[in-house]
Amino acid sequence: MKQRNKALLSASLLSLALGLSVSAQATEWKGWNIHKAGYPNTVGMDKFAELVEQKSNGDFSIKMYHAGVLGNQPDAIEQVRIGGLEIGNFSLGPIGPIVKEANVLSLPFVFDDVAHMHKAMDGAVGDQINAAMEKKGLISLAWYDAGARSFYNSKKPITQPADITGMKVRVMNNDLYSGMVSALGGNPSPIAYAEVYQSLKTGVVDGAENGWPEYESMGHFEVAGYYSLSQHLIIPQCLCANASAFRRLPEAQQQMLIEAAQESAQVQRDLWAQREAFSRDKVVKAGVKLNEISEKEPFQLAMQPVYDKYLGENPELKPLVMLIKNTK
């Protein structure tokens, strides 16, 4: 009887120990995203978290914090780099000043179109940029879509570079974007994203540049009624992880995260295309004056000084630019 009780006690202790072991091995990460509920990126990030929990049988979970509640994008990038956060969805625009290889993607007209961007980023170009990002503490598990950026303003349609001459244009805080507007004869104004609407409304700036969803969702179409399809920048986004946290995981979990991220990227890309169509239709119906730019070559030629300056300062990046251009 005593032996039976000892056996039962031993079994109970073993069961408890195994339970504690499983609990100790369970992993929870925190993820950052600037967008609100329903936005393609938000849906994609939530899908990523859902897939991670499914594929790990509940042993790995990611709690997503949306709408920038954990800080702005530059702060979040630093938090993921140092490990304060494990996951973030970032534009490669603000990563460019940190990772010079990523900055190549901010060269105007470096991609022919969105399809060209996806092919490059899902291949050797994305691999090279990711390897450089890892040295700075970030690993991209998948590339998200952000469409093409075009100019919009409150004054007139833009059909040629001369139309931008003298125009005050809000740009993201990156020397390449300022150089782009200056090369077109405009006056670049780096202004925080949250301040663009009021700046357009009060005339602090005449125009800005962004894609359809941002132009519509932020209400910029209400105060800048001319949208010109320059499509001068096509900057992808990353679903990024802290490099050290990722490399500490067993290889099977690393692969699981990559698979979940890439599945979520397909969801995000599909939703992005739908959102672009919705946003375009909404603003056109609201009275926005949309114009195609049939001849983009003059805009592209105007960017030569931007390329010359950047590649003159970073000659080692010329092969990466050529790899992008030669990706078919």
Three-state SS letters, 64-92 = EECCCCCCCHHHHHHHHHHCCCCEEEEEH
Q: How confident is the model at residue 25 (pLDDT cuts 50, 70, 90)?
A: low
Comparing C-alpha atoms, which of 86, 94, 93 is closest to residue 48? Answer: 86
**Residue 83 confidence (pLDDT):** 98
Decide if 197 contacts 141 (C-beta within 8 A). no
**Interval 223-263: pLDDT, tens:** 999 999 999 999 999 999 999 999 999 999 999 999 999 99
Comparing C-alpha atoms, which of 255, 265, 239 is closest to residue 80? Answer: 239
Based on its alpha-carbon atoms, the radius of gyration of the chain, rounded to whole angstroms, reads: 23
Average pLDDT of the segment spanning 93-108: 95
**Residue 237 confidence (pLDDT):** 98
| d(C-alpha 214, C-alpha 35), whole Å | 10
Q: How confident is the model at residue 14 (pLDDT cuts 50, 70, 90)?
A: very low
Task: Tell me which amino acid residue 214 is.
Answer: E
pTM score of the predicted model: 0.88
Q: Which helix (H) or strand (E) holds 208?
A: strand 207-210
| d(C-alpha 198, C-alpha 140), whole Å | 34
Fold equal for 26-145+236-277 and 149-234+286-326: yes
| d(C-alpha 319, C-alpha 305), whole Å | 18
Q: Mean pLDDT across the chain, nearest whole number?
A: 92
**Residue 23 confidence (pLDDT):** 41
Decide if 139 contacts 133 (C-beta within 8 A). yes
Q: Backbone phi, then psi, for 59, in 5-degree steps?
A: -85, -10
Q: How confident is the model at residue 18 (pLDDT cuts 50, 70, 90)?
A: very low
Average pLDDT of the segment spanning 8-33: 58
| d(C-alpha 23, C-alpha 251), whole Å | 20
Comparing C-alpha atoms, which of 300, 143, 296, 274 is closest to residue 212? Answer: 274
Give 41's DSSP letter.
H
Q: Which CATH architecture fits 149-234+286-326?
A: 3-Layer(aba) Sandwich (3.40)
Apex 39 CA angle, 36 and 40, nearest 5: 140
Decide if 151 contacts 186 (C-beta within 8 A). no
Beta pairing, strands 138-144 & 237-242: antiparallel
> How many CB atoms are closer than 10 A to CB 207?
26
Share of the chain above pLDDT 90, in %: 88
Apex 33 CA angle, 274 and 229, nearest 5: 40
Average pLDDT of the segment spanning 19-34: 73
Output the CATH code of domain 26-145+236-277: 3.40.190.170
Average pLDDT of the segment spanning 55-77: 95
Q: Is the pLDDT of residue 268 over 80?
A: yes
Q: Is the pLDDT of residue 22 over 90?
A: no
Give 317's DSSP letter.
G
**Residue 1 confidence (pLDDT):** 45
Average pLDDT of the segment spanning 99-113: 97
The structural domains of the chain, with segments of one domain joined by +, span 26-145+236-277, 149-234+286-326
Query: What is the distance in angstroms between the CA of the first residue and the CA of the last residue of the chain?
Result: 77
